[in-house]
Amino acid sequence: MFTPARVRLLFVTCIALFMAMLDNLVLGVALPSIQTDLGATLSDLEWFMNSYTLAFAVLLIPFSVLGDSIGRKKVFLAGVVIFTIGSLFSGLSDSSIGLILSRALQGVGGAAIVPLSLTLVNSAFPPEKRAAAIGLWSGISGLGLSVGPLVGGLIMEGAPWQMIFYVNVPVGIIAFVLGLKWLEESRGIRKPLDPLGVLLLTAGLFGIIFGLERGNSEGWGSTIVIASLAVGGLLLLLFYFWEKTRKNPFVRFDLFRRKAYTFYVFAGFWMNAGVFGAIFLLTLFLQQAQGNSPLGAGVKEMAWTTMTMIAAPLAGLAISRLGNRNVLLSGLFIQAVALTWFALLIQAKGFDFPFIYLLAPMMLAGTGMGLSFTPLSHGLISSVPEDAAGEAIGIGNATRELGGVFGIAISGLIFQSGSAITSPHDFSVHVVPSLAVGAVMMAVAFLGIAIFVRKINKADPSHPTAPLTAKPMI
Express each pLDDT in 101-146 by its tens digit: 999 999 999 999 999 999 999 888 888 888 888 988 888 887 786 6
Examine the domain organization and report whether 132 and 260 are in the same domain: no
Any domain includes 406: yes
Question: How far, in Å, CA of 415 to CA of 427, rounded?
Answer: 8
Any domain includes 451: yes
pLDDT value of residue 337 = 97
CA distances from 42 to 194, 222, 280 (A): 38, 19, 18
Question: Any idea what the CATH number is for the domain that residue 328 is in?
Answer: 1.20.1250.20
Examine the domain organization and report whether 1 and 139 are in the same domain: yes
Question: How far, in Å, CA of 308 to CA of 314, rounded?
Answer: 10
Any domain includes 356: yes
Produce one character per residue of 219-237: b if its CB has 16 or more CB atoms within 10 Å, e if not: eeeeeebeebbebbeebbe
Helix 168-182 / helix 72-92 crossing angle, nearest 10 deg: 160
Task: Note the helical H segments in 245-323.
Answer: 259-284, 294-300, 302-322
Quote the number of domains for the chain: 3
Examine the domain organization and report whether 140 and 51 are in the same domain: yes
Any domain includes 120: yes
pLDDT value of residue 470 = 34
Degrees, nearest 5: CA angle 246-249-252: 135
Any domain includes 472: no
Examine the domain organization and report whether 182 and 223 are in the same domain: no
Domain that holds residue 303: 253-466
Q: What is the dihedral of CA 139, 142, 148, 151, to 10 degrees?
A: -20
Examine the domain organization and report whether 171 and 221 are in the same domain: no
- Summarised one tens digit per residue, pLDDT across range 53-106 is 889 989 999 999 899 888 999 999 999 999 999 999 999 999 999 999 999 999
Any domain includes 474: no
Examine the domain organization and report whether 183 and 201 are in the same domain: no
Examine the domain organization and report whether 262 and 208 are in the same domain: no
Examine the domain organization and report whether 240 and 170 are in the same domain: no
Examine the domain organization and report whether 151 and 198 are in the same domain: no
Examine the domain organization and report whether 304 and 234 are in the same domain: no
- Summarised one tens digit per residue, pLDDT across range 225-249 is 999 999 999 999 999 999 988 888 8
Any domain includes 220: yes
Question: How far, in Å, CA of 70 to CA of 334, rounded?
Answer: 41
pLDDT value of residue 187 = 83
Question: How far, in Å, CA of 428 to CA of 425, rounded?
Answer: 5
Question: How far, in Å, CA of 114 to CA of 106, rounded?
Answer: 12
**What is the mean pLDDT, run by run of 10 residues, along the chain of 474 residues?**
85 92 75 85 81 90 90 95 96 94 95 93 86 87 74 77 91 95 86 87 94 87 94 96 88 90 96 91 88 80 87 92 95 97 95 94 95 93 87 91 90 86 91 95 96 61 42 31
pLDDT value of residue 455 = 57
Examine the domain organization and report whether 244 and 284 are in the same domain: no
pTM of the model: 0.86
Q: Which of 233, 249, 265 is the last residue of a domain?
A: 249
Any domain includes 92: yes
Q: Which of 173, 191, 209 is the last residue of a domain?
A: 191
Q: Which of 217, 233, 249 is the last residue of a domain?
A: 249
Examine the domain organization and report whether 169 and 211 are in the same domain: no
DSSP tag of 470:
S
